[in-house]
Amino acid sequence: MTGQASPTALPDVRAPLLGTWRDAPGLRGFLTTVDHKRIAARYVLTAMAMLFLAGLLAVDMRLQLSRPEMERMGPQGFNEAFALHGSTMLFLVSVPVMEAMALWLIPLMLGQRTVAFPRLAAFSYWMYLGGVLMLWIAHALDITPDLGWFEYPPLSGPAYSPGHRADIWAQMITFSEVAALAASVNIAATILKMRPPGMTLARMPLFVWTMLVASLMTIFALPSVMLVTSMLISDRMVATHFFTPAGGGDALLFQHLFWFFGHPEVYIIFIPAIGFVSSIVETFSRRTLFGYVPMVLAVLGIGVLAFGLWVHHMFAVGLPRLGNAFYTAASMAIALPAGLQIFCWIATMWSGRPRYATPMLWVIGFIATFVIGGLSGIMTASSPLDLQLTDTYFVVAHLHYVLVGGALFPLFGAFCYWYPKATGRLMSERWGVIAFLLIVGGFNIGFFPMHLLGLEGMPRRIYTYGPDMGWGTLNLVATIGTFISAAGGLVFTANAWLSLKRGPLAGADPWGGATLEWATSSPPPVHNFDHVPVVDSIAPLWMQESDLPVMTGLRSDLREVLITSVVDAIPQYRQKSPEPSIMPLIAAIATSVLFVGSIFTPWALVWGAIPVAAALTLWFWPKRPRATDGPFGVRRS
């Protein structure tokens, strides 16, 4: 099952490959690595640290709201807390962690040595780290942005939001969006051009499809938010009039541009989770996914439809009613592909032979929780009903049900599922079940009451409320639930940490998976696979009774990857893969200086461009000879 046939048939290239693909030792290796697994690991760990910090803020807010007129936090502190919580969760946790999982998994699922653009992957992480540091160092210095995770002007304009807090928020977004674009381009290119021979589009694992769609969506959606935050900085710094009505601008322009990004963003977060769930359901039901074609079409449908829904965040701003009705219909219509997917997963379990390890429990928790979020979304999709529900705790409940239930639960399941592959050990099942029950149970106790609070008139983003509003009991219940869930999170983290040393050894394929990542050792060697596997079915590891067929011919003394065609994955040529390099870090530092400086003066764009240009020139300085020998060598006429 590992693709290693008898030594006499295949050349033994493991030792030279290990030498060719290894990093420099110590700090130098840490800073120059282009190993997608190392980069993805630090990406995931940073995102989980951000999840922890954002969770602390949430606990803080819940304590403040647990009783009426609590005086733990004043309005300034609370406003900073929800702004930081939302911004961190949406820009620094949800999207980056999905990309990081893809960065780690995609080459392994495709039998490849690395991603299409390894140095770009490193650059993506350093830019993401820049965004993290920008926001959280600002918080440490007590200049936290305090206007929410979408800072509508004119409140965020120069007159009503003095100083640089709003600019810090806007520029943090620029950092994280550059990182996301870099990662998405990388993932899309890898998926389209670097698949194993024989893995046509129709044989791609569903997770690969979802990452392809999410990456393409990112490329289309993120420029909108970069544009709108730059326009905001411009309004604040150089007195443009984009968002000021008295100057000919329009406050709603911000909302349209922001939500044109904002709505696809939540699907960018959810669609990879679809991939996680599909992988887990398939493996643990011991049958290939039911309805592969409807599932792929549903993912594509969601990806396209997501761009036509953004006005449902603006039903209360007074746009023409017929337009609102159109967006109601479109927002409800997206339930059709999502609903089909739920059926396909349940059908797979129905006709398979389900086993209940922790990853499968998370899938069950996902279905039970996410569907509530989806249905509360149908309710808020109706524009007349939304006029009562929007900007209340009903929407807070809805968004947490879909983001936590729909993205975080599958993510935790994915962690449990691929942890053995990444570390070589299994997490404790018993503690995994305990963590699961605490997190899912606590989450529902915490957030279900918020539906009722919204229906009882509690608006969002208020730091306190009066004792005669009648909201005290439900708020207390919500706070208790949050604590239970947080305890579960600590158990999960402890399990992951302790299992690193104490967990039972996993072997290459502890779950009996179908996809290629299970064909290499756990953890994978630095070059992933000794030879590129050849695929002729949708479940390569299940179809091959004996060893997986492989393709030889890539050099083991140079870094080389195989490039294949887009639709049918026919091998086309060999591509030199970049050596480790310090240039991504240098370029990220130069870009960070430009971004941070441009908050304080527009001249930073001019002067800051010079080091960036220098760094990029050095980065792209050509020094890689192409393969000139062998059947796929470059032909010079």
Q: Which of residues 174-233 bind other proteins (CB under 8 A)?
A: none
Per rule CB under 8 A, is residue 252 in the interface with other proteins?
Answer: yes
Choose one: 139-147, 212-220, 420-428, 577-585; the region binding other proteins (CB under 8 A). 139-147
Beta-bridge partner residues of 533: 550
Report the residue number, 202 or 505, with the smaller CB distance to other proteins. 202
> Considering only residues 469, 498, 566, 634, which one is a binding residue for other proteins as defined by CB under 8 A?
469
> Considering only residues 512, 602, 630, 633, which one is a binding residue for other proteins as defined by CB under 8 A?
512
On whether the CB atoms of residues 87 and 149 are closer than 8 A, the answer is yes
Per rule CB under 8 A, is residue 141 in the interface with other proteins?
Answer: yes
Sign of CA dihedral 357, 362, 365, 371: negative
Question: How far from each other are the two terminal CA atoms of the chain, in whole angstroms?
Answer: 43
Q: What does DSSP say about strands 571-576 and 550-551: parallel, antiparallel, or unpaired?
A: unpaired
- Minimum distance of other proteins from residue 409's CB (angstroms): 14
Sign of CA dihedral 158, 160, 166, 170: negative
Per rule CB under 8 A, is residue 346 in the interface with other proteins?
Answer: yes
Both tokens assigned to 197: 């021979």
Q: Pick from 177, 131, 114: which is nearest to 532 by CA?
A: 114
Per rule CB under 8 A, is residue 629 in the interface with other proteins?
Answer: no
Per rule CB under 8 A, is residue 247 in the interface with other proteins?
Answer: yes
In the block, tokens 């746009």 appear at 319
Per rule CB under 8 A, is residue 546 in the interface with other proteins?
Answer: no
> Considering only residues 473, 572, 601, 617, which one is a binding residue for other proteins as defined by CB under 8 A?
473
In the block, tokens 């997501």 appear at 306
DSSP assignment letter at 307? G
> Considering only residues 70, 201, 227, 379, which one is a binding residue for other proteins as defined by CB under 8 A?
379
Per rule CB under 8 A, is residue 376 in the interface with other proteins?
Answer: yes
- Minimum distance of other proteins from residue 250's CB (angstroms): 6
Q: Which of residues 569-628 bind other proteins (CB under 8 A)?
A: none
Enclosing H/E stretch for 576: strand 571-576
Per rule CB under 8 A, is residue 534 in the interface with other proteins?
Answer: no
Buried b (16+ CB within 10 A) or exposed e, 600-628: eeeebeeebeebbeebbeebeeeeeeebe
Q: Which of residues 324-343 bind other proteins (CB under 8 A)?
A: 324-325, 328-329, 332-333, 335-336, 339-340, 342-343
Q: Return phi, psi of residue 560, to 5°.
A: -135, 145
- Minimum distance of other proteins from residue 4's CB (angstroms): 22
Give whole-number Cα distances, 223 to 174, 230, 240, 252, 268, in Å: 9, 10, 20, 18, 14
- Minimum distance of other proteins from residue 364's CB (angstroms): 7
Q: Which of residues 151-180 bind other proteins (CB under 8 A)?
A: 152, 154-155, 157-160, 162-165
Choose one: 6-14, 94-102, 261-269, 348-356; the region binding other proteins (CB under 8 A). 348-356
Enclosing H/E stretch for 96: helix 95-109
In the block, tokens 């396209």 appear at 304
Q: Sketch the per residue contact string, 59 through 78, with other proteins: x for CB under 8 A, - otherwise.
A: ---------------xxx--
Per rule CB under 8 A, is residue 235 in the interface with other proteins?
Answer: yes
Choose one: 115-123, 206-214, 284-292, 581-589; the region binding other proteins (CB under 8 A). 284-292
Both tokens assigned to 339: 């609903």
Choose one: 31-39, 126-134, 185-193, 531-539; the region binding other proteins (CB under 8 A). 531-539
